[in-house]
């Protein structure tokens, strides 16, 4: 048997699904992602949502100005699809460098109230995207109160995704943050125009995490964590070597007081330790050799972008993320707060990743 490696060097990874928010909260969190990832696909679910090319360009500029000096980070922008989005905005967005548009079924998740109420209403926009080569990113859950929360992803595949795939065969679709064996199987068997992102928390946890010795709101996200058989299927997909699956943290910061609330917000914050959590999940599956493809190659290959050239190093060294970070005027409780992690990112400049951000907002 080979000895378990103590360090792991991989091509610098990207995050293909990230929420950075805006204003002061943005300035509090962006350094965490920039310390780990070269690029990230930035979700457009602000209030109001990012629905025009100009808004995407302005938001990109605000993100760049929030990146601390000395860190390089490229935000890759997306548009938020609504029933009213004019199809010709797609051409303007494409020309402005926007890579993708995001489908939030109305009511499916955080800040999705302006989302699409019926796919038939956006056919012309989807046609324009297919023509322009703009990717469609989907939050794949149906919303009806008649469908059990834990079945919403599987029902979405049958009711929405299969017809969508048939009607727009050459539209590149990323099924975002998949959480079920159904979704992993669907993507594995689909053609080369379909891929999926998988979060670190869905690789590490099943739904017991939300209910373990009391209700734990920091494990609540959408799509919600599923049962263990689904987690195992996600681990198999991520570590299979298949280029259909790639890294997307879905790190989704919310003020702690709104998560620890009678109607707590959905979203887990993982950007402070994302690559470390993925390394842990791949290590648990004895598949560390597959991490680089998943984290650094499959995403850019699917998006048609160049792979990164630099590298990062991870060390097997236990460390403990802090209990909280500042988040604008509020607090942010990260996943694994106060709990040890077995892998640690070795920062390029010799400081520790914990010092980026620290207990204070990173500026």
Ligand X SMILES: NC(=O)N[C@@H](CC(=O)O)C(=O)O
The residue from 14, 15, 182, 250 that is catalytic is 250
Interaction of residue 201 with Zn ion, rule CB under 5 A: no
Q: Using the rule CB under 6 A, which residue among 267, 321, 334, 357 binds ligand X?
A: 267
| d(C-alpha 152, C-alpha 117), whole Å | 16
Has 250 been annotated as catalytic?
Answer: yes
Instruction: Give the one entry of ligand X, Zn ion, none that residue 110 binds, where binding means its C-beta sits below a cut-off of 5 to 8 angstroms depending on kind.
Output: ligand X
Stretch that binds Zn ion, among 6-14, 105-113, 128-136, 212-220 (CB under 5 A): 105-113
Residue 78 CB, nearest approach to ligand X (Å): 12
**221 touches ligand X by CB under 6 A:** yes
3-state secondary structure of 81: coil
Is 177 annotated to bind a ligand? Reply is yes
- Cα(127)–Cα(106) distance, integer angstroms: 20
181 is known to lie in a ligand binding site: no
250 contacts ligand X (rule: CB under 6 A): yes
Q: Which is nearer to ligand X, 44 or 357 (CB)?
A: 44
Question: Do 280 and 47 contact (CB within 8 A), yes or no?
Answer: no
Q: How many other CB atoms are found less than 10 A from the CB of residue 319?
A: 16
CA distance readout (Å), 198 to 110, 180, 250, 297: 18, 10, 8, 14
Kindly indicate which of the ranges 103-111, 204-212, 232-240, 272-280 contains the residues binding ligand X, using the contact rule CB under 6 A: 103-111
251 part of the interface to ligand X, by CB under 6 A = no
Q: Does 19 bind ligand X (CB under 6 A)?
A: yes
Q: Under rule CB under 5 A, how many of the chain's residues touch Zn ion?
A: 3
Using CB under 6 A as the binding rule, whether residue 119 contacts ligand X is answered as no
Stretch that binds ligand X, among 54-62, 105-113, 303-311, 331-339 (CB under 6 A): 105-113
Of these, 55, 109, 179, 242, which contacts Zn ion (CB under 5 A)? Answer: 109
Among 14, 89, 153, 250, binds Zn ion (CB under 5 A): 250
Contact call for residue 222 and ligand X (CB under 6 A): yes
Cis peptide before 223 (omega within 30 of 0): yes
Spatial CB neighbours of 75, under 8 Å, sequence gap ≥ 6: 20, 39, 40, 42, 60, 63, 64
The CA distances from residue 245 to 79, 190, 240, 273, in Å, are 22, 12, 9, 20
96 is in an annotated binding site: no
Maximum C-alpha span of the chain: 59
Alpha helices by DSSP H, the chain:
23-36, 53-66, 88-95, 123-132, 152-156, 162-167, 181-189, 200-204, 228-238, 256-259, 274-284, 291-292, 298-303
* For Zn ion, the closer CB: 55 or 109: 109
Ligand-binding annotation for 222, yes or no, is yes
Cα separation, 229 vs 209, in Å, equals: 14
| CA–CA dist 241, 287 (Å, integer) | 9
**Distance (Å, whole) CA 350 – CA 15:** 23
Binding residues: 17, 19-21, 45, 102, 139, 177, 222, 250, 254, 266
| Binding region for ligand X (CB under 6 A) | 19, 45, 109-111, 139, 221-222, 250, 252, 266-267
Binding residues for substrate: 19-21, 45, 139, 222, 254, 266
| Binding region for Zn ion (CB under 5 A) | 109, 139, 250
């Amino acid at each position: 048997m080979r000895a378990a490696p103590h360090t792991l060097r991989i091509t610098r990874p990207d995050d293909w699904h990230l929420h950075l928010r805006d204003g002061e909260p943005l300035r509090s969190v962006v350094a965490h992602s920039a310390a780990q990832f070269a690029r990230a696909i930035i979700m457009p679910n602000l209030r109001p949502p990012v629905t025009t090319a100009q808004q995407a360009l302005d938001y990109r500029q605000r993100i760049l100005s929030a990146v601390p000096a000395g860190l390089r980070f490229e935000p890759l922008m997306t548009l938020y699809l609504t029933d009213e989005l004019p199809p010709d905005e797609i051409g303007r967005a494409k020309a402005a460098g926007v890579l993708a548009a995001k489908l939030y079924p109305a009511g499916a998740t955080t800040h999705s109230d302006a989302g699409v109420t019926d796919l038939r209403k956006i056919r012309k926009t989807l046609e324009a995207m297919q023509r322009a080569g703009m990717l469609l990113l989907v939050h794949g859950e149906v919303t009806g109160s008649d469908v059990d929360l834990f079945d919403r992803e599987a029902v979405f595949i049958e009711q929405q995704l299969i017809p969508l795939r048939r009607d727009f065969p050459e539209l590149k679709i990323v099924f975002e943050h998949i959480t079920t064996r159904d979704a992993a199987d669907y993507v594995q068997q689909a053609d080369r125009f379909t891929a999926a992102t998988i979060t670190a928390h869905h690789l590490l946890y099943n739904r017991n995490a939300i209910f373990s010795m009391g209700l734990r709101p920091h494990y609540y996200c959408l799509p919600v964590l599923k049962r263990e058989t689904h987690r195992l299927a996600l681990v198999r997909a991520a570590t299979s070597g298949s280029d259909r699956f790639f890294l997307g943290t879905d790190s989704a910061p919310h003020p702690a007081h709104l998560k620890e609330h009678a109607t707590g917000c959905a979203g887990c914050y993982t950007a402070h330790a994302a690559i470390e959590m993925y390394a842990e999940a791949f290590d648990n599956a004895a598949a560390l050799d597959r991490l680089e493809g998943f984290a650094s190659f499959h995403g850019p290959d699917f998006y048609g972008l160049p792979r990164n050239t630099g590298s990062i190093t991870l060390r097997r060294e236990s460390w403990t993320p802090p209990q909280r970070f500042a988040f604008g005027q509020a607090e942010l409780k990260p996943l694994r707060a106060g709990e040890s992690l077995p892998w640690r990112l070795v920062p390029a400049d010799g400081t520790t990743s914990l010092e980026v951000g620290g207990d204070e907002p990173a500026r």
